[in-house]
Amino acid sequence: MDIDRLIKKDEVHRDVYVSEEVFGLEMDRIFGSAWIYVGHDSQIPNPGDYWTTRIGLQSVVMTRGKRDEINIFYNRCPHKGARIAEEGCGHTNGLFRCPFSTFNLDGKLRGVPYLDGYQDTSFDLTDPRFSLRKVARVAAYRGFVFASLAEDGAEFEDFLAGVKSSLDNFCDRAPEGTVSVAGGVFRVVQRSNWKIFFENLNDTGHPIATHESSYRAARQYSEEVLDGELPFELHIIDGNGAPPKFWSDLDLHAFDYGHSYMTAIFNAPDDPLSQQYFASLAAKVGGDRAEEILAVNRHNTIIYPSCSPHTSFQQWRVIRPLSVDRTLVEIFTFRLDGAPDELLQRTFTYSNVVNSPSSIVMTDDVHVYAECQKGLSTQGGDWVSQHRNAGQDQPYSGSEGGLIGVGTSELPIRNQFRAWHEYMSEGSGQSVSPEAS
Ligand SMILES: [Fe+2]
């Protein structure tokens, strides 16, 4: 396939969203090589715990071994092919068992029934090909576990580069310096291509129109029922109705490999709970350091092509492509270890208001994604615009490097497609540094 014909400097061809052939190539060349988020080590605290998920279309099992090590296996019995674990979290008491074989926690085949019958055949209990197959590379940073299905490619920390600071801030906000997955997981299946969701995450051009119905409803409720008060839940929704200058004054930062982040839309309220939390953090790290940590206030960070942490409210969204026009988004909520329990309740509130399947904010977005997918499937035009502020992005002089753009620039979208182009041209692992265009 001629990848170059699908992408221009500030436009992409609609086939990148609707072609089954492009989707198949993406699963091979992007999800088959990039560092993909698999899970957090707090989901498997004890040996034998496991978390079953996907890397691209590949079912995989992340599990903790006897020596506390984390292994990630393809979810396939090497003997007959059955999956060894159902999706989700679970615990196995020292061995994985499918209907045909058993395996130790390190993936080694332990046994098959009627072993006598295998004499004088090529079946060999000690042959690695009859043990669970590990994915090529596994790496973790501060508890966040990623894997690559390719032997070669960028080193994990080079891949993270400019967004490593978001993971640091995510954890530094915890008095103990660590975070843990709390509660369950929200799952939303979107009727749209996976890239549309990523494009939206740092697109500040959309809230004022896409979320008009929800922020107007929040304001109306505040005025008519609450005498103008704006509790935290409504404050979050109201933020989407900020005027244009508010959005353009934000900063957008873009980095290698399609990553980016935007500065925060709103702060946590200055209330007794925030003060109690600050005291718990300051008690551990000192007041100056606590202020420094909380001064890093970001909205969505994008770790392309698999996840998006929200550092200020401890949300973590995982993007799992299902097919060319179906995308599963999983939303995890984290506890800041050592912080007051009430802070976790605020985190859940944020998740319920913004990310739950019944959120009146997310449903706005999901509806628009589906409309884009439907429109792109017509023959009404071949190209999709990414022109806004193209050519105006500047190198960032701060230590993180990368590019910086005005808050309403489509810099993050162009940046994602630069990485997309590099991966799809089978150039994964090489630098995909964005260049000021
Ligand atoms: Fe939105």
CATH of the domain at 364: 3.90.380.10
- The answer to whether residues 251 and 262 touch, using CB atoms and an 8 Å cutoff, is yes
**Taking the model in full, what pTM does it have?**
0.95
Domain membership of residue 78 (yes or no) is yes
Distance of CA 244 to the CA centre of its chain: 27
Query: 234 and 173, same structural domain?
Result: yes
Q: Would you state the pLDDT for residue 316?
A: 98
Distance 206 CA to ligand 1 centre (A): 6
Residue 155: inside a domain: no
412 half-sphere exposure, CB direction, 13 A CA radius = 29
Between the CA of 256 and the centroid of ligand 1 the distance, in Å, is 24
What is the CA(255)–ligand 1 centre distance, in A? 22
Distance 210 CA to ligand 1 centre (A): 7
Considering its fold, how many domains does the chain have in total?
2
CA of 126 to the centre of ligand 1 (A): 53
The 3-state DSSP class for residue 379 equals: coil
66 CA → ligand 1 middle, Å: 43
**Residue finishing a domain among 141, 174, 195:** 141
Residues 370 and 329 occupy one common structural domain: yes
Dist. CA 73–CA 106, nearest whole Å? 9
Assess if residue 85 is contained within a domain.
yes
Distance from the alpha carbon of residue 223 to the mean position of ligand 1, in angstroms? 23
| CB-based contact 381:13 (threshold 8 Å) | no
Per DSSP, helices labelled H in 20-81 are 20-29
Query: Ligand 1 centre and the CA of 387: distance in Å?
Result: 20
CATH number for the domain spanning 46: value is: 2.102.10.10
167 & 314 share domain:
yes
Domain boundary among 141, 175, 192: 141
- The answer on 195 and 76 residing in a single domain is no
Residue 3 lies in a domain: no
Residue pair 314/170 in contact (Cβ under 8 Å)? The answer is yes
Distance 75 CA to ligand 1 centre (A): 35
Confidence at residue 427, expressed as pLDDT on a 0 to 100 scale: 62
pLDDT of residue 265: 81
Q: How far is Cα 178 from Cα 142, in angstroms, rounded to an integer?
A: 7
For residue 242, give Cα distances in angstroms to 47, 50, 116, 215, 238.
48, 43, 73, 9, 8
Range 290-299, long-range pairs (CB < 8 A, 24+ positions): 293/169, 293/172, 293/173, 294/173, 296/165, 296/169, 297/263, 297/264, 297/267, 298/166, 298/169, 298/261, 298/262, 298/263, 298/264, 299/202, 299/261, 299/262, 299/263, 299/264, 299/265
Task: Assess if residue 153 is contained within a domain.
Answer: no
Query: Which candidate, 37, 123, 14, places its Cα nearest to that of 79?
Result: 123
Task: Please tell me the distance between residue 147's alpha carbon and the centre of ligand 1 in angstroms.
Answer: 29
Residue 209: is it exposed, middle or buried by C-beta count within 10 angstroms (0-12/13-18/19+)?
exposed
Q: Distance from the CA of 299 to the center of ligand 1, in angstroms?
A: 12
Provide the residue range defining the domain that includes 218: 161-424
Which of 112, 141, 170 corresponds to the end of one domain? 141
Residue 94 within a domain: yes
Q: Is residue 351 domain-resident? A: yes
Q: What is the 207 CA–ligand 1 centroid distance (Å)? A: 5
Nearest by Cα to 193 from 405, 414, 366: 366
Residue 149 alpha carbon to ligand 1 centre in Å: 32
Are residues 125 and 206 both part of a single domain? no
Ligand 1 centre distance from Cα of residue 250 (Å): 16
Together in a domain, 182 and 118: no
Please tell me the distance from the alpha carbon of residue 386 to that of residue 391, in angstroms, as a whole number: 11
Distance 386 CA to ligand 1 centre (A): 17
Distance 205 CA to ligand 1 centre (A): 9
- Backbone Cα Rg of the chain: 23
Report if residue 148 sits inside a domain.
Answer: no
User: Which of 188, 191, 198 lies closest to 369, judged by CA?
Assistant: 191
Whether omega before 305 lies within 30 degrees of 0, making that bond cis, reads yes
Nearest to 173 by CA among 285, 302, 307: 285
Query: At residue 5, what are phi and psi to the nearest 5 degrees?
Result: -75, -10
C-alpha distances out from residue 412 to 165, 204, 256, 399, Å: 17, 11, 11, 19
**How far, in Å, from the CA of 197 to the mean position of ligand 1?**
9
Residue 1: count of CB within 10 angstroms of its CB: 12
User: Ligand 1 centre from 164 Cα, in Å?
Assistant: 24
C-alpha 344 to ligand 1 mean position (Å) = 23
- pLDDT one digit per residue (tens) for the chain, 437 residues: 899 999 999 999 999 999 999 999 999 999 999 999 999 999 999 999 999 999 999 999 999 999 999 999 999 999 899 999 999 999 998 999 999 999 999 999 999 999 999 999 999 888 999 999 999 999 999 999 999 999 999 999 999 988 999 999 999 999 999 999 999 999 999 999 999 999 999 999 999 999 999 999 999 999 999 999 999 999 999 999 999 999 999 999 999 999 999 998 878 888 999 999 999 999 999 999 999 999 999 999 999 999 999 999 999 999 999 999 999 999 999 999 999 999 999 999 999 999 998 999 999 999 999 999 999 999 999 999 999 999 999 999 888 899 999 999 999 999 999 999 999 997 654 444 554 44
Ligand 1 centroid distance, CA of 370 (Å): 13
